[in-house]
Amino acid sequence: MSGEHPLHVVLEQQGPYAFRIDFEGAAFASLRSDEAPPLGAGEGPNPSELLLASIANCLSASLLFALRKFKNAPAPIRAEISAATERNAEGRLRIPRARVSIRLAEPAAGIERFDRVLAQFEQFCTVTQSVREGIAVEVEVIDGNGVAHPAGASG
């Protein structure tokens, strides 16, 4: 896996469904995730909430970038994202859609090149665009003997 900005995150199980999430090379503390009861204890955001937070955070940062690109100095913004899980054809829970609302403090008429900002800010958002296009994820499971097994393989 190569890339311009390699990313590496390490998760370690801390409870039945709780994980400590470490962001390699980061100067900040670990994050704890957990599934809601009855599976977990709800001691942190669950993976679906982290996904939604990532989408809304990235869109908000991209909007700020686009606003500042045109020499605007926006007041703090507020973003909300909502979604619901639904069962797919196989009966598995999925998040088929999400709705994001980003609230600016300033009226649009007072924002330089607001039409251009709106036309381009989503394209700056790495997370949202990656989710929209789909992310190829290769998975392997390494057993206690260090043997790697590709996920989805039978036998």
Tens digit of pLDDT for each residue in 103-137?
999 999 999 999 999 999 999 999 999 999 988 88
Q: What is the pLDDT of residue 1?
A: 44
60-65 LR contacts (CB < 8 Å, sep 24+): 60/102, 61/125, 62/121, 62/122, 62/123, 62/124, 62/125, 62/128, 63/102, 63/117, 63/121, 65/121, 65/124
Second CATH level (architecture) for the domain 46-150: 2-Layer Sandwich (3.30)
Q: Where are the domains of the chain?
A: 1-45, 46-150
pTM equals 0.89
